[in-house]
Amino acid sequence: MCGIVAAVTQRNVANFLVDSIKKLEYRGYDSSGLAVIDNENNIIRIRCVGKVNELIKKTNKKKILGNIGVAHTRWATHGKVSKENTHPHISSNIVVVHNGIIENNSILRLFLQKKGYIFSSDTDTEVIAHLLHWEQNKKQNSLKKVIQNSIKQLDGNYSMVVIDKNNPSKLIAARSGSPLIIGLGIEENFISSDQIALLHVTKRFIYLEEGDIAIVKKKEINIFNKDNFFIKRKEIISNSEYKSVKKGKYRHYMEKEIYEQPKSIRNTLKNRLKNKNKVYFSELASEANDVFCNTENIQIVACGTSYNAAMVSKHWFESLANIPCDVEIASEFSSRKLTVRKKSLLITLSQSGETADTLLALRYSKKLGYLGNLTICNMESSSLVKESDFYILTKAGLEIGVASTKSFTTQLTVLLMLVAKIINVKEENTSISKKIVQTLNLLPVRIEKILKKNYIIKNVANILANKKNILYLGRGNQYPIAMEGALKLKEIAYIHAEAYPSGELKHGPLALIDKNIPVIMIAPKNSLLEKNKKNIKEICSRGGLIYVFSDQEFDHEDNMNIIKLPYVEELIAPIFYIIPLQLLAYYIALKKGKDIDQPRHLAKSVTVE
């Protein structure tokens, strides 16, 4: 969601700030701004609504000379999209940028107004700025002490970076819920909410932990934990390449990431498939085997695309490992009283590992008596990984496009491997785990074949691009793939799309069928194919227009279009069939001229509830 970049350097920071904040556009935002303390100790602030390019134009028009500054991309929560609500926010000498939500901001706003503070925005961030100024003037404490006193009064999840024109040699950062990273340079240091913003200047990072306050100078960094003890946090060398942030030959990051999926899956499988019938996760602590051995039920919690991946895996856990599996949306899981099944393992799924609702669900679950908790995540340094008992990495690589693609297929790959792992640990039907391992080895090749059929998908996209409503149908473990296909279309093409289990057609959705609402059906060769054929006839007999994605031939029906796909093994068919649906959404959005990588109102990492 919102993005933070800050720097204290030997060089002029203005251009660095705008270059770096542009790299966070993918997170989703509606406005951006920066503030620099110049060489005469003046605060120079520039803010604008719209793309970061507007901020760059305005910054280039001004000659800003300063060695310390902050920048921010805002995703509106408190207050409309406007210049006045755009960060940074200032209170006299104090400048603040902030991610997250201050839940008691209304109470604090009233308190500060009574103290004479005048607000120029509707944001909770301006509340922080005035509160810091109030605390500083009250006792003339150091800025660190001022922040410590102030955050005791803040309710919510947040991260912030503060600069003070009366002490322009240091950045001060505080983390409570939302991620913050320190980038280490040579006689210069940086802060960001995402390492992508800093990869062009450093590969050395320190990840702040919950409750940390960091004082960052050019040549010195001091970190204090939530108990105010000085602490050394581990330095991490990132193996991410800056070139991987570039689009290369592709028009959009989403297109690039769709085509990267064979490589991402190979990376996810690498060194994890042993002896042709076993799965090995090097990052799993040995105690995980004891938990798996005793697991009789599984509860998965996730949001969005990760939820759809979890829904596919429910079929795998139950049909292959004979373990009952419940799946719930994270925001619903943590907002009600729960009954935990006997000997249940909790699994969380998240690409970023910073999804607020999923983190809240994990923390809530620790009070409920689960055997243990496991997260499947793409970011080893994330909060979910740090706070979980066990973790497995998806190894998708950096994903920039807001609409998830390779993170989805690598999640599914890991989930299917996890099924085989649990079967192995329980020493049950090892022939199934052997089949899983053998079939997963074929998956990258199968996906490469479907990607070569992109011209077929383009033709369908050209036909459907002007439609306002589309139905997606699937049965069994293909129903969640229909859900994910519909989600992709909504996210980037802004077309209303709904997914239903094919068997539910007669229970309401059939009333929508006419020539103006096309239906997309996923119908691979499996035990449910004949049932799907009956649904096709029901749609065609009512004048509906249907596009069937299948590796099978069908008897011709009026208004029926067969999208013939290559053969794929039934076990990995869900992972395979999402690829043409990703391409379909992409080409429709391209035809409609939409902002594919940065769709309106959406954010890559949803770090607020």
pLDDT tens digits, residue range 425-473?
987 678 899 999 999 999 999 999 999 999 999 999 999 999 999 999 9
User: What is the per-residue pLDDT for 2?
Assistant: 80
User: What is the per-residue pLDDT for 500?
Assistant: 95
Q: Note whether residue 607 is domain-resident.
A: no
Both 46 and 159 in one domain: the answer is yes
* Residue 281 CB coordination number (10 Å): 17
Both 150 and 162 in one domain: the answer is yes
- Pairing type for strands 43-49 and 94-102 reads unpaired
Token digits for 303? 């949001």
Both 461 and 446 in one domain: the answer is no
Q: Note whether residue 609 is domain-resident.
A: no
Both 425 and 566 in one domain: the answer is no
Q: If we measure between CA atoms, which residue out of 533, 549, 539 comes closest to residue 582?
A: 549
CB-side exposure of 71: number of CA atoms within 13 Å? 30
420 CB contacts (<8 Å, ≥6 apart)?
278, 279, 432, 433, 436, 437
pTM: 0.87
Both 444 and 471 in one domain: the answer is no
Both 292 and 430 in one domain: the answer is yes
161 with 35: CB under 8 angstroms?
no
Q: If we measure between CA atoms, which residue out of 99, 94, 176, 78 comes closest to residue 135?
A: 94
Both 274 and 398 in one domain: the answer is yes
- Which of these is catalytic: 165, 421, 594, 604? 604
Per the annotation, the verdict on 293 as an active-site residue is no
Both 524 and 573 in one domain: the answer is yes
Residue 311, burial from CB neighbour count under 10 angstroms (0-12, 13-18, 19+):
buried
- Point out which residues pair with 191 in neighbouring strands: 6, 182
User: What is the per-residue pLDDT for 562?
Assistant: 92
User: What is the per-residue pLDDT for 336?
Assistant: 86
Q: Note whether residue 84 is domain-resident.
A: yes
CATH assignment of the domain containing 493: 3.40.50.10490
- Which of these is catalytic: 2, 48, 377, 540? 2
* Residue 426 CB coordination number (10 Å): 18
Both 91 and 237 in one domain: the answer is yes
513/491 Cα distance (integer angstroms):
23
Could you list the beta-strand ranges (E) of 447-537: 469-474, 496-501, 519-522
Total domains present in the chain: 3
- Point out which residues pair with 372 in neighbouring strands: 345
Range of the domain at 133: 3-245
515 with 544: CB under 8 angstroms?
yes
Q: Note whether residue 384 is domain-resident.
A: yes
Instruction: Kindly list the distances between the CA atom of residue 89 and the CA atoms of 107, 142, 218, 238, 382, in Å, as whole numbers in the listed order.
Output: 19, 20, 23, 32, 28
pLDDT tens digits, residue range 85-101?
999 999 999 999 999 88
Mean pLDDT rounded to a whole number for the chain:
92
How far is C-alpha 408 from the chain's CA centre? 11
From 418, 450, 482, give the residue that closes a domain. Answer: 450
331/609 Cα distance (integer angstroms):
8
Q: Among the listed ranges 172-176, 380-384, 514-518, which one has the minimum average pLDDT value?
A: 380-384
Both 206 and 283 in one domain: the answer is no
* Residue 455 CB coordination number (10 Å): 7
CATH assignment of the domain containing 110: 3.60.20.10
pLDDT tens digits, residue range 128-178?
999 999 999 987 778 999 999 999 999 988 899 999 999 999 999 999 878
Write the DSSP assignment of 165-184 as a string of letters: TTSTT-EEEEEEBS--EEEE
> Is pLDDT larger for residue 213 or for residue 78?
213
Per the annotation, the verdict on 263 as an active-site residue is no
318/336 Cα distance (integer angstroms):
25
39 backbone dihedrals φ, ψ, rounded to 5°: -70, -10
Rounded to the nearest 5 percent, the helix, strand and coil shares of the chain are: 40, 25, 35
* Residue 39 CB coordination number (10 Å): 12
pLDDT tens digits, residue range 523-557?
998 888 889 888 988 898 888 999 999 998 887 77
User: What is the per-residue pLDDT for 464?
Assistant: 96
Share of the chain above pLDDT 70, in %: 98
Both 381 and 437 in one domain: the answer is yes
* Residue 49 CB coordination number (10 Å): 18
Element (H, E) at 90: strand 89-91
Q: If we measure between CA atoms, which residue out of 185, 73, 69, 48 comes closest to residue 125?
A: 73
Per DSSP, 482 falls in state: H
User: What is the per-residue pLDDT for 214?
Assistant: 97
Both 199 and 261 in one domain: the answer is no
Q: Note whether residue 608 is domain-resident.
A: no
Res. 241 pLDDT band, cuts 50 70 90: low
From 195, 224, 245, give the residue that closes a domain. Answer: 245
From 225, 245, 265, give the residue that closes a domain. Answer: 245
Give the burial string for 54-92 (b: 16+ CB within 10 Å, else e). Answer: ebbeebeeeebebbbbbbbbbbbbbbeebebbbbbbbbb
User: What is the per-residue pLDDT for 602?
Assistant: 76
